[in-house]
Amino acid sequence: MSYEKLKEQLALHGQEHLVKYWPELTENERELLASEIQNLDLAEVNEIFRRATESTKVILEKFDDDLKPIPQAHYESVPGLSQEKVLEYENIGFQQISDDKVGVLLLAGGQATRLGFGYPKGMYDVGLPSRKTLFQIQAERILKVQQMAQQRTGKSGKVTWYIMTSEHTMGPTADFFKSHNYFGLDEDNIIFFNQGRLPCFDFNGKIFLDEKYHLSTAPDGNGGIYRALKTQGILDDIARRGVEHLHAHSVDNLLIKVADPVFIGYCKSKNADCAAKVVSKSSPSEAVGVVCRVNGYYKVVEYSELTEEAANRRNPDGRLTFSAGSICNHYFSAQFLQKICNYESKLKHHISNKKIPFINEDGVRVKPSEPNGIKLEKFIFDVFEFAENFICLEVARDVEFSALKNSDSAKKDCPSTAREDLLRLHRKYIREAGGVIDDNIDVEISPLLSYGGEDLKDLVENEAFVISPFHLKSMMESSSNGVNGNH
């Protein structure tokens, strides 16, 4: 496309500044810039910006009048369930796994910049005795849950693993899986797909240039998964394989129960189209979003949007009224995803004010010290309100949730807290199976040996654990010396 044509097209949408430096560019750079501009639907992008800024103006609506907790009929808590009920849900879940009807949607687009690690976050090693990465731990949990399903049902089934990466993490992630032989999983059942990107804007809706020949863009948030599922053929793959239940979660929860049979069984038995796992908020001021109902629709209300009164409100039993803390751990029926992806364009974009490097008026690339523009993103939970049968499952935080967001200097949601949470849970599993272990002894239990504390009794009963750190491995893991030795 000629410069004149390009400029004319941009001028129609108020973005002609994007070709300001055209005369200075090499032929190659001009091609790159022209191709990026042509790949943008400028009318749609401008409309997205307009709608996002408009909705932000009214977002500070008062939630209090129409804010209600999740009704009891739509809410169960695993710690409060009888062993029989847990087994019932688990059996349903295992049957679905054996019938190849379960898929996992892994949100793995993030780079671990806050951890000071220049690779995809899933490749991060939190410093466990085994030195396993997040990807390896999650892969091994899938292997184990498939094995348990076969033992329980007598039929071998496969979990399909859909991994959403971003433009920058796709290559390194795919290479990492290949070089580790897909961690023992079948390559055909691991599908990588890319999250979309959106331009970054200044506060007036002008798209930033990151370089004179390159637009500034950012990932479109974890809610971008719905567009990606549709545009990248993942919905078609789900239908072709006959997958009916999708467990979606972020990569950075070290305690995640991947393809959790209890969660799948609970959702299947209640005929849910969409569900959320939640943890009970640790205090009224804990900065987590809360799953609740607003105007009769299910939503995640951000901590900052709750009034102090609502955050502190308690039930007669003393529990916080709004206690269902959102942990990015969701269930979707395949049918619901098909429906949602057809009108994902109706999902709102959220505005995030950020410090965005840009090319200034003088053609110099500037790294601002204050927020100077806007990134737009969608959130995965924004589809809750479209569900016809939405339910919640509360799980024990110490068993299922430990986030990895920050570097150790934050002392919260960081590698050392995540590692300690996992080792503490594994000490608990050892004690429950009859083993003896002090709090200062670090023993990691391989996911290939035990998914959630089961199958340990024969190994650890009446055993005293004194070597620290120690890696308790399954038979299939080759024995090696040092801390990785078998017990």
Query: Do 103 and 324 form a contact (C-beta atoms < 8 A)?
Result: no
On whether the CB atoms of residues 265 and 244 are closer than 8 A, the answer is: no
In DSSP terms, 104 is beta-bridged to 161, 247
Greater confidence (215 vs 57) lies with 215
Ranges 49-58, 80-89, 256-265: which has the least confidence? 49-58
Position 77, amino acid: S
SS3 403: strand
Spatial distance between the Cα atoms of 385 and 274, rounded to a whole number of angstroms: 10
| Secondary structure (DSSP) of 234-292 | HHHHHHHHT--EEEEEETTBTT--TT-HHHHHHHHHTT-SEEEEEEE-SSTT----EEE
pLDDT of residue 188: 98
pLDDT value for 96? 98
**Residues with Cβ within 8 Å of residue 243, at least 6 apart in sequence:** 100, 101, 102, 103, 160, 334
Q: What gap in Å lies between CA 2 and CA 7, rounded to an integer?
A: 9
Backbone angles phi, psi at 246, to 5 degrees: -120, 125
- Amino acid 303: pLDDT: 84
> In 65-200, which ranges are E strands?
67-68, 75-77, 102-107, 160-165, 190-194, 197-199
Tell me what pLDDT residue 117 has: 87
Angular region, 88: left φ>0, alpha ψ -120 to 50, beta rest:
alpha
| Tokens 């793959």 belong to residue | 237
Question: DSSP states of 410-459 as a string?
Answer: G-SSSHHHHHHHHHHHHHHHHHHTT-EE-TT--EEEPTTT-SSS-S-HHH
Residue 343 banded pLDDT, cuts 50, 70, 90: confident
- 67/484 Cα distance (integer angstroms): 51
In terms of pLDDT, which residue wins out, 164 or 114?
A: 164
pLDDT above 80: residue 196: yes
Cα–Cα distance measured from residue 188 to residue 190, given in angstroms and rounded to the nearest whole number: 6
CA distance 457 to 415: 29
Residue with tokens 């990466």: 165
Give the pLDDT confidence score for residue 232 in this predicted structure: 95
Q: How confident is the model at residue 483 (pLDDT cuts 50, 70, 90)?
A: very low
pLDDT digits (tens, 9 = 90+) for 84-134: 999 999 999 999 999 999 999 999 987 777 788 889 999 999 999 999 999
Q: Reply yes or no on whether the pLDDT at 395 is more than 80.
A: yes
User: Could you tell me which of 307, 310, 289 has the C-alpha nearest to residue 299?
Assistant: 289
Local structure of 392: helix, strand or coil: strand
Average pLDDT, the chain: 92
Asked which of 43-57, 353-367, 449-463 is least confident by mean pLDDT, the reply is 43-57
**Distance from C-alpha of 15 to C-alpha of 6, rounded to nearest angstrom:** 10
- Separation CA 444–CA 450 (nearest Å): 11
SS3 category, 29:
helix
What pLDDT does residue 63 have?
52
What kind and span of H or E run contains 302? none
Q: How far is residue 243's CA from residue 264's CA, in Å, rounded to a whole number? A: 12
Q: Taking residues 424-433, report their average pLDDT.
A: 98
CA–CA distance, 352 with 83 (Å, rounded to integer): 44
Give yes or no for residue 485 having a pLDDT over 60. Answer: no
Question: Distance (Å, rounded) from C-alpha 328 to C-alpha 443?
Answer: 28
Residue that wins the pLDDT comparison between 337 and 305: 337
Q: What is the pLDDT of residue 350?
A: 87
Instruction: Single out the residue of 185, 265, 277, 260 nearest to residue 452, CA to CA.
Output: 260
Per-residue pLDDT band at 65 (split at 50, 70, 90): low
Task: Tell me the percentage of the chain whose pLDDT exceeds 70.
Answer: 96
Residue corresponding to tokens 């191709």: 35
Using a pLDDT cut of 90, give the percent of the chain over it. Answer: 82
CA atoms within 13 A on the CB side of 220: 23
12/41 Cα distance (integer angstroms):
12
Q: Are strands 190-194 and 160-165 parallel, antiparallel or unpaired?
A: parallel
Given a contact cutoff of 8 angstroms between Cβ atoms, the answer to whether 455 and 474 are in contact is no
